Amino acid sequence: MNSNVIFLIVSLLIISCKNEKDLNKTSINLSVLSDQYITILGTAQDGGFPHINNTQEFVSVKNREAKKELVVSLGIIDRQENKKFLFEATPDMPQQLAILDGEHLHNETIINGIFLTHAHMGHYTGLMHLGREAMGAKNIQIYAMPKMKIFLENNGPWSQLVSLNNVNINPLQADSIIRITKNIEVIPFLVPHRDEYSETVGYKIIGKNKSTLFIPDINKWSLWEKSIIEEVKQVDYALIDATFFKNGEIPRPMSEVPHPFIEETVDLFKNESKEIKSKIIFIHLNHSNPALDKKNEERLLLEKQGYRFANFGDILQL
């Protein structure tokens, strides 16, 4: 066998091993997961990353200097009951549903239910993909608070989803338990936010063994009637609003888009134990947030203190 043939065979073996390694690195080992769990399907604020009107971000992603981030969404899986749910209907919903179906649970329907938090673009506009221009879905179960339900039913194009039975909207009530499977309960609760078209809620997701707080959007913690510190202490995971790291991060008055800065949240928890801090998982990061970069020094410092940042594909056991 001549040297050229040997070189070709060795090269192919190396490429094959590399591809297998890459595939194994990104695949999910379902055998080690509990029957109920949460998977993180997106971590970015409504506009995603790269963000409109930021050409350099698109160039950075194209050149593989940065990574595309999908808009905040959670997948909830109950393999025991063969059901899957989505929290938030983002502009990236088609890809997120495909990930749920292809990598987590394939069943008779694309999704068993979608829970909405409020009527801002990153949290409900993905519903458009269920309409006649795209999927032409039949009776997908949507869970929404009263004002959100009325908004969808009385404003186009969302009202067409209702009239064509693409979706069926189930009304939620604040602080009331809804059991989505034998093993998983969901409790919506009101939070203060810019409620132009609907109220805003967070969710508590309760499994057989673990519980999760999900608050992707809120104004300042001080405006909420509850204590975020006490709420975090009551759960195992707290996926909370980390839209901005600090004041002055964007070139417009930040009072127009109020959120608790990561710096403010950290200051609130400064006297808590590392065990409590480790329950906090920052999510819903704006494209301007330096903590989107996993190597950012400020992020690394917070991680040493115990705080965590949501990453696409993370699994939280329930």
Residues 6+ apart with CB under 8 A from 242: 262, 265, 282, 283, 284, 285, 289, 291, 309
Q: How far apart are CA 306 and CA 215, in angstroms?
A: 19
pLDDT tens per residue across span 250-265: 888 877 888 999 999 9
Q: How far apart are CA 198 and CA 195, in angstroms?
A: 5
Q: What is the mean pLDDT of residues 266-276?
A: 97
**Residues composing the chain:** 318
Residue 5, both tokens: 């043939």
Confidence of residue 39 (pLDDT cuts 50, 70, 90): very high
The per-residue pLDDT of the chain, averaged, comes to 90
* Residue 229, CA distances (Å) to 44, 65, 221, 273, 288 in order: 24, 37, 10, 11, 26
Evaluate if residue 2 carries a pLDDT over 60: no
pLDDT of residue 29: 64
**φ, ψ of residue 20 in degrees (nearest 5):** -65, -40
Tell me which DSSP letter residue 100 carries.
Answer: I
pLDDT tens per residue across span 98-146: 999 999 999 999 999 999 999 999 999 999 999 999 999 999 999 999 9
Q: What is the mean pLDDT of residues 65-85?
A: 96
H helical segments located in 100-170: 121-124, 146-154, 158-163
| Structural domains in the chain plus CATH codes | 33-317 (3.60.15.10)
Please report where in the chains the tokens 């990561």 appear, as a residue: 262
Contact between 153 and 76 under an 8 Å Cβ cutoff? The reply is no
pTM of the model: 0.89
Confidence of residue 57 (pLDDT cuts 50, 70, 90): confident
**φ, ψ of residue 88 in degrees (nearest 5):** 90, 135
Q: What is the mean pLDDT of residues 226-241?
A: 98
Q: How far apart are CA 17 and CA 161, in angstroms?
A: 47
pLDDT tens per residue across span 190-224: 999 999 999 999 999 999 999 999 999 999 999 99
Confidence of residue 15 (pLDDT cuts 50, 70, 90): very low
